[in-house]
Amino acid sequence: MPGDLARRYKSKSQQARVVSEAWGREELFCANCDSTSLDGTPANNRAIDFVCPRCSAPFQLKAKSGSIGRTVDDGAYTAMLAAIREDRTPNLLLMRYDFPAWRVVDLVLIPHFAFPESAIIRRRPLSPTARRSGWIGCNIDLTRIAPEARILVVAASEPISPAHVRAGYERLKPLRGIKVTQRGWTLDVLNIVRRLRKAEFTNDDVYAFGSELEQLHPDNRHVRDKIRQQLQVLRDAGLLIHVESGRWRLP
């Protein structure tokens, strides 16, 4: 990355933002279409850093040195929930870079339609003495996002081919067609299926997580019926194969 740009700033967060966004304008491409570049957005747009010039897909880039970890800091809690419910979250790019070499180590893409509400964790309000007293932020819990929705763009400083990245994004696109009011259920069941770590599994395997799903979706009292329904939705989306009654297999 163009690390020399960091010399103009004292704040570490400003340095990371300026350097990573400058790199993105030169190196990033669109996963939603065949555009080989992304356009930067005005500096005062906090939620969106890049827009595809061809399909207008929005992207947000978060960069940090060191490991990304289980959770990622995000903005206001209510604003993030509203963005998910209104289907206007940007595609998220999570970058890990090496400092002071300013070298990209890992870059992960999470499609905008792959965020369940269960992944948004409410933080405590800021203290009364804080400048924004009472403000409530949130974290994104990456363990609540299914592995196939965490698409590698750079791994161990080696770029992944755009064709491979786009294929991973394309495979998930059927999720985009699910009504946003139902998509959270679908994503939560998909994540549980992947947590089973089984190539083939049964309804009972997923039923074992019924209490967890009840907590995530307290308004639904027919959890087993909903699980069966969502397994069928995942089958229709090409993310599961129905083997026989009550038995499923990952593609």
Q: What is the mean pLDDT of each run of 10 residues along the chain (251 residues)?
A: 95 94 97 98 83 97 92 94 96 97 97 97 93 94 96 97 98 96 96 96 98 93 95 97 97 92
The C-alpha angle 234, 144, 140, rounded to 5 degrees, equals 130
d(CA 122, CA 140): 9
Distance in angstroms (rounded) separating the CA atoms of residues 198 and 108:
24
Domains of the chain, start order: 3-70+83-119+138-170 (3.40.210.30), 180-249 (1.10.10.10)
The pLDDT tens digits of the residues spanning 137-158 come to: 999 999 999 999 999 999 999 9
3-state secondary structure of 147: helix
The pair phi, psi for residue 77, each rounded to 5°, is -60, -50
Task: Note the pLDDT of residue 46.
Answer: 72
Alpha-carbon span 144 to 225, nearest angstrom: 22
pLDDT of residue 224: 96
* pLDDT tens figures, 40-50: 998 767 789 99
61 pairs with which residues across the strands? 93
Sign of CA dihedral 193, 234, 62, 73: negative
Sequence-ordered alpha helix ranges (H) in 7-161? 12-27, 77-85
End-to-end CA distance of the chain: 37
Instruction: Quickly tell me which residue has 């804080």 as its tokens.
Output: 130
pLDDT at position 118, please? 96
**pLDDT at residue 20, as a whole number:** 97
- Identify the pLDDT of residue 220: 85
Instruction: Check if the beta carbon of residue 1 is closer than 8 Å to that of residue 103.
Output: yes
Dihedral sign for Cα atoms in the order 8, 9, 12, 18: negative
Confidence at residue 178, expressed as pLDDT on a 0 to 100 scale: 96
How is residue 93 annotated by DSSP?
A: E
